[in-house]
Structure 1
Amino acid sequence: MKVIPAIDLLDGKVVRLHKGDYDEATIYNDNPVEEARKFKEAGFDHIHIVDLNGAKEGKFVNLEHVKEIIDTLDISVQTGGGIRSYEDAQMLLDKGISNIICSSMAVKSPAEWLRVLDNYGQRAILGMDLKDGKVAYGGWLETLDQSLKDFLQPMIDRGLSTVLSTDISKDGTLEGPNIELYRKLSTQFPVLHFIASGGVANANDLKLLAEQNQYGVVIGRAYYEGKLSLDEMQRYHSE
């Protein structure tokens, strides 16, 4: 299982939001490079970065900080937030980002997103936020009246391989991941790799995910609040 440490950037600082609320942002580090260095030194060569300014403003804002992390530490990064068009995706990938994560584009500009998949394949990760089993978008305020199969199949047909799936009800809560959700997703869509996001609180949560052969998991708040150590994260990590 790939354990992927997360850095959420807001105004160039490392923060975490609670259930996506910008008014509930906790600052953990003013220096994102130093935060990423801890992960690198612990043996993680790939990290997850979200541009929270970008997600809010509709354009990628924190690129200089992401580039500094990549260039300083020689680490690979998957990133999302504010990627709204094919040109946005192309720009980030050309700047040395390993993988881009798109969610709003897949819902609001599906033709653009399919073009990204056509040209960048495995470097393009779908960010799929789920609310009561439905795809949520627009700041999690709206949901698609469409089955997951109808939503995902056109993307699978165009080469989608990896989905970062967040159960909104679990995001930032430390209440444990929705194990059953990820089991169902993997069973229903065996050709896809699912990265779990949201709710992981301790090493036992990682153990449960690993036991069901979860492809990957993003770790954020549990680490920053001392619920999970880097050693514990590394114990369940494999490339």
Structure 2
Amino acid sequence: MILYPAIDLKDGNCVRLYKGEMEQATVFNDDPAAQARAFVEAGCEWLHLVDLNGAFAGAPVNAAAVEAILAAADVPAQLGGGIRDMATIEAWLDKGLARVILGTVAVENPALVREAALAFPGQVAVGIDAREGRVATKGWAEETDVMVTDLARSYEDAGVAAIIYTDINRDGAMQGPNIEATAALARAVTIPVIASGGVSSLADLIALRDTGAIAGAISGRALYDGALDLKQALAALKG
């Protein structure tokens, strides 16, 4: 199982939100590139980046910070937030991103996801963010009646590289991930599922890994708070 350290970007800074609320942002580092280097030096194999302003704006906002991270880090990175058309997808992949994450458009414009997955094999992931099993879009600001499993299954034949599943009520709350729901989703589809939201301890990571169904886990706040030691976590997952 791959551990993805998260760099969430708001106004050019590395922040963590509490349950997806932009007003409840804690700044952990004002130098995203330095943060990326620190994660790479600790041994991470991937980085998970989110343009939080972009998710609300519907277009990239923290591009300069993302580009600085790509220049500073020599591991693959995936990015979500505000990526809603082919031109933006292409531009980011041309700049060296390994994978783009499509969230809002996965609900609103499935044809775009399919087109992108076909055009860029292995480089398009679907981000599914949910409250109580229902998908939320536009930076988690809008709730839909779409069920998580239904949305995931609708992309089974599209060739997407992964599904990043976030339980919004767990995100940044340090209460542990929703292991049951994440494992159930992973078992319902053949697409690799990456868990996001609430990963706050080594025990959480081990529990996710031990389901035998989950391909990866994203952690942010726990790494910044020191509740999770990245080197130790990576070693434990390898062991």
2:52 matched to which residue of 1?
52
Measured in 2, the distance between the counterparts of 1:159 and 1:108 equals 18
1:86-121 residue CA offsets vs partner (Å, 9 max, x unmatched): 221111111111000110111112222221112113
Measured in 1, the distance between the counterparts of 2:47 and 2:93 equals 15
Contact 1:161 1:193 in 2 (8 A): yes
1:174 matched to which residue of 2?
174
2:120 matched to which residue of 1?
120
- C-alpha RMSD over aligned residues: 1.6
Q: Structure 1 residue 155: deviation in Å?
A: 1.8
1:40 matched to which residue of 2?
40
Q: Structure 1 residue 134: deviation in Å?
A: 1.8
Three-state SS of the structure 2 residue aligned to 1:126 is strand
**Amino acid in the other structure paired with 2:197:** G
Measured in 2, the distance between the counterparts of 1:139 and 1:73 equals 26
1:68 matched to which residue of 2?
68
**Amino acid in the other structure paired with 2:200:** A
1:120-147 residue CA offsets vs partner (Å, 9 max, x unmatched): 1321010001211122223434443344
How do 1:1-239 and structure 2 match up within 5 A? 1-189=1-189, 191-213=190-212, 214-238=214-238
Report which stretch shifted further, 165-174 or 55-64.
55-64
Report which stretch shifted further, 122-131 or 137-146.
137-146
Measured in 1, the distance between the counterparts of 2:149 and 2:17 equals 30
Check 1:24–1:143 CA distance in 2 against 1; reply closer, same or farther (3 A cut): closer
Contact 2:9 2:49 in 1 (8 A): yes
Three-state SS of the structure 1 residue aligned to 2:156 is helix
Check 1:149–1:4 CA distance in 2 against 1; reply closer, same or farther (3 A cut): closer
TM-score, normalised to structure 1, is 0.93
Q: Structure 1 residue 75: deviation in Å?
A: 2.5
Three-state SS of the structure 1 residue aligned to 2:173 is coil
TM-score, normalised to structure 2, is 0.93
Contact 1:210 1:236 in 2 (8 A): no
1:27-78 residue CA offsets vs partner (Å, 9 max, x unmatched): 1111111111111111113100101121121111222222222222322210
Q: Structure 1 residue 160: deviation in Å?
A: 2.0
Note the residue ranges of structure 1 that are not aligned, 5 or more in a row. Answer: none
1:160-203 residue CA offsets vs partner (Å, 9 max, x unmatched): 231000011111110011111122112211x1111000011111
Contact 1:165 1:197 in 2 (8 A): yes
Report which stretch shifted further, 228-237 or 47-56.
228-237
Measured in 1, the distance between the counterparts of 2:89 and 2:25 equals 27
Check 1:161–1:201 CA distance in 2 against 1; reply closer, same or farther (3 A cut): same
Measured in 2, the distance between the counterparts of 1:38 and 1:221 equals 15
Note the residue ranges of structure 2 that are not aligned, 5 or more in a row. Answer: none
Measured in 1, the distance between the counterparts of 2:94 and 2:109 equals 21
Aligned residues: 237
Check 1:138–1:32 CA distance in 2 against 1; reply closer, same or farther (3 A cut): closer
Measured in 1, the distance between the counterparts of 2:62 and 2:196 equals 21
